[in-house]
Amino acid sequence: MLQVFERSQDFQADPESILTLINDFESYKTFLPGCLDSKKLSADSDPFVRGLLVFGFLSNTYEFESANQTDGYNVKIDQITGPFSIFSASWKLRSLESGATNVLFQASFQLPFFLKIFARQGVVDAMGEKFLNAFAGQLSK
């Protein structure tokens, strides 16, 4: 069964700054909760940005390799390899008159059997909120 996380939040930053941060895999390890290491895997000339994130969870590490494809103010994320049976996500940015940006983040995924115990919706929502708040906090620095 697919788990879903979806949130809309206003960030106090312009869309270009948010897009830059989303695609800056190198910086994730400095602000994303649980991220032990992060790096960009693709060349600047590639049509999409590939990156690797390493997370620590319950005394284990999990590598998540994904590809980000940007189209205007939208970013589509697909897992290449990682702990999920299925994973896809998207960021949709909408510039607001106040100079802020409305961010809609959506993710759907399926965990393998041994991790399904952590897939209660309350846990998924709490983790998603932490990740979005980490992005908002990084943008305000």
Tell me the per-residue pLDDT of 46-73, one tens digit each, with 9 for 90 and over. Answer: 778 999 999 987 788 999 999 999 999 9
Report the distance separating Cα 129 and Cα 122, nearest Å: 11
Tell me the per-residue pLDDT of 88-108, one tens digit each, with 9 for 90 and over. Answer: 999 999 999 888 999 999 999
Please give the model's pTM, rounded to 2 decimal places.
0.88
Domain at 3-139, CATH from 3.30.530.20, 3.40.50.300, 3.40.30.10, 2.60.40.650: 3.30.530.20
Confidence of residue 117 (pLDDT cuts 50, 70, 90): low
Which residues of 29-131 form beta strands (DSSP E)?
A: 35-40, 49-57, 60-71, 74-81, 86-95, 101-110
Looking up tokens 């620590």, which residue turns up?
Answer: 56
Task: Judge contact between 7 and 124, C-beta under 8 A.
Answer: no
Domain range summary for the chain, segments of one domain joined by +: 3-139
* Alpha carbon separation from 55 to 16, 48, 63, 73, 118 (Å, rounded): 27, 22, 6, 27, 15
